[in-house]
Structure 1
Amino acid sequence: MKSFDIVTITVNPALDKSTHFKGLVAEQKIRCDEPRLDAGGGGINVSKAISRLGGTSLAVFTSGGPTGKMLEELVSKESIAYKAVEVQSWTRESFVAVDDNTNSQYRFGFTGGKISEEESNSILETITALSPKFLLASGSLNQGLSTDFYRKIAEIAKKSNAKLIIDTSGEALKKALEVGVYMIKPNVGELAKLIGVERLELEEVNEAAKQIITIGGAEIVVVSLGPQGAVLVTKDSCQFVPAPNVAKKSTVGAGDSMVGGIVWALSQNKSLKEVIRWGVACGSAATMNEGTQLFKYEDAKRLFDWLKDK
Structure 2
Amino acid sequence: MAAILSIALNPTIDMSSEAEQVVPTRKIRTCNEKHHPGGGGVNVARVINMLGGAVELIFTSGGVTGILLEQSLDCTGIECRKIKIEQSTRLAHMIYEQQTGLEYRFVPVGPEVSQQELNLVLEQVEEFEGDYIIVSGSLPLSVPYDTYALIADIADRKNIRFIIDSSGEGLKCALAKSPVFLIKPNHRELEKLTGKRLDNNEAKEAALELVRNGSARNVVVSMGAEGAFLANEEGGLFIPASPVNVRSAVGAGDSFVGAMAFSLASGHAIQDAFRFGVAAGAAAVMTDGTELCKREDVLKLYGDILSKA
State the TM bucket, normalised to the shorter chain: over 0.9
Provide the C-alpha distance between the structure 2 equivalents of 1:237 and 1:73, rounded to a whole number of angstroms. Answer: 44
Structure 2: distance between partners of 1:84 and 1:8 = 12
Deviates more, 1:47-56 or 1:279-288: 47-56
Spell out, residue by residue over 1:262-286, the C-alpha distance to the aligned partner (whole angstroms, 9 max, x if none): 1011101112221111101000000
Indicate which of 245, 248, 252 corresponds to 1:247. Answer: 245
| Residue equivalent to 2:193 | 194
CA drift at 1:237: 2.7
Amino acid corresponding to residue 183 of structure 2 in structure 1: I
Work out which of the residue numbers 291, 294, 297 in structure 1 matches 2:292: 294
Aligned residue for 2:106, secondary structure, equals: strand
Deviation at 1:79, TM superposition (A): 1.6
Letter in 2 for 1:24: V
Report what 1:30 is aligned to.
28
Deviation at 1:241, TM superposition (A): 1.4
Name the SS of the counterpart of 1:295 in structure 2. Answer: coil
Q: 1:189: Cα distance to partner?
A: 2.9
Q: Structure 1, residues 33-82: CA drift from partner, whole Å, max 9, x if none?
A: 25211000101101111122111200111010111111111112112111
* Residues in 2 aligned to 1:101 and 1:187: alpha-carbon distance in whole angstroms: 28
TM-score (ref. length: structure 1)? 0.95
Alpha-carbon distance between aligned partners in 1 of 2:188 and 2:32, rounded to the nearest angstrom: 36
What does 1:1-310 correspond to in 2, within 5 Å?
Answer: 5-33=3-31, 35-178=33-176, 179-196=178-195, 198-310=196-308
Task: Kindly provide the amino acid, as one letter, of the partner of residue 42 in structure 1.
Answer: G
Q: How many residues align?
A: 307
Letter in 2 for 1:253: G
One-letter code of the match for 2:35? L
Q: Whole-Å Cα distance in 2 between the matches of residues 31 and 194 of structure 1?
A: 40
- Structure 1 residue runs of 5 or longer lacking an equivalent are none
Q: Which AA in structure 2 matches 1:103?
A: G
CA-to-aligned-CA distance 1:233-285 (integer Å, 9 cap, x gap) = 11123222111010000000000000011101110111222111110100000
Whichever residue aligns with residue 187 of structure 1, its letter is: N
1:24 and 1:212 map into 2 onto residues whose CA distance is 42
Q: How far apart, CA to CA, are the structure 2 residues paired with 1:273 and 1:28?
A: 50
CA contact 2:186–2:223 (8 Å) conserved in 1: yes
- Residue 120 of structure 1 aligns with an amino acid whose one-letter code is L
CA contact (8 A) 2:208 2:235 kept: no
Query: Structure 1 runs of 4+ off > 6 angstroms?
Result: none
Could you tell me the percent identity over the aligned residues? 39
Of stretches 185-194 and 214-223 in structure 1, the one that deviates more from structure 2 is: 185-194
How does the TM-score come out when normalised to structure 2?
Answer: 0.95
SS of the aligned residue for 2:307 comes to coil
Q: What displacement does 1:195 show?
A: 3.3
Larger mean CA deviation between 273-282 and 228-237 belongs to: 228-237
The alpha-carbon deviation at position 4 of structure 1 amounts to 7.1
SS at match of 2:69: helix
3-state SS of 1:33 partner: strand
Query: By how many angstroms is 1:143 displaced?
Result: 2.1
Structure 2 residues without counterparts, runs of 5 or longer: none
